[in-house]
Amino acid sequence: MNQELREFVRDSLGRGVPRGKIREALLSARWPADEVDRAISQFADVDFPVPVPRRRPYLSAQEAFLYLLAFVTLYLSAVDVGALLFAIIEKYFPDPLERTTAYSLYQRITVPLASVIVAFPLYLWLTGLLVRRVQRDPELRGSKIRKWLTYLTLFVAAGTIIGDLITLLTRLLEGEITPRFLLKVLTVLVIASLVFVYYLTDLRPEEKEAP
């Protein structure tokens, strides 16, 4: 945050200038509205002779570790669930040009299955732990690492959905649609959409809150 802006807001509040007038003055001076609102929100709206700074969430190394591990296990779970479903689709909708044996199918399943068995329960446990922490201390929702990783996940999920739909449309135009291909496209679309909707829903309430 711009230090000059923060000091101006602090001094103005200290002199008893209403928040609305401070905001109007800064907007008239062409300060961006989001920066103005962020600067004003740094001080609690309490009746006290001097401006009271609002408590800001502290990013601990433990919190960073938990969020990073939670999102890594999410990515592992999503990719390996897709790999498992792909193997099942290939079993029931085999490609005539490919020679698939029971052993080769078994090899395709073992690694993603082991990964899902380890990663997905760990992801659920970490997510539950982080949710309980936020419920005890709602200010933790303002964690920067949480927001960055959430938006990164939304970006990856949205990119996956777009790429999946482009692939589907391309094959439609080429006239090479098969049940096996459609099921694989649907698998990717469902997994990416579930991740996107979950994290978008989780992020939306705080984005709607007034500063």
pLDDT of residue 23: 92
The verdict on 41 and 90 lying in the same domain is: no
Domains held by the chain: number:
2
Query: 57 CB contacts (<8 Å, ≥6 apart)?
Result: 137, 139, 140, 142, 143
Last residue of a domain, one of 32, 53, 74: 53
pLDDT of residue 208: 52
pLDDT of residue 211: 43
The verdict on 189 and 120 lying in the same domain is: yes
What is the model's pTM? 0.72
DSSP 29: T
CB 57 within 8 A of CB 114: no
The verdict on 161 and 83 lying in the same domain is: yes
CB 187 within 8 A of CB 82: yes
Low-confidence ranges of the chain (pLDDT < 70): 1, 56-59, 96-105, 205-211
The verdict on 107 and 41 lying in the same domain is: no
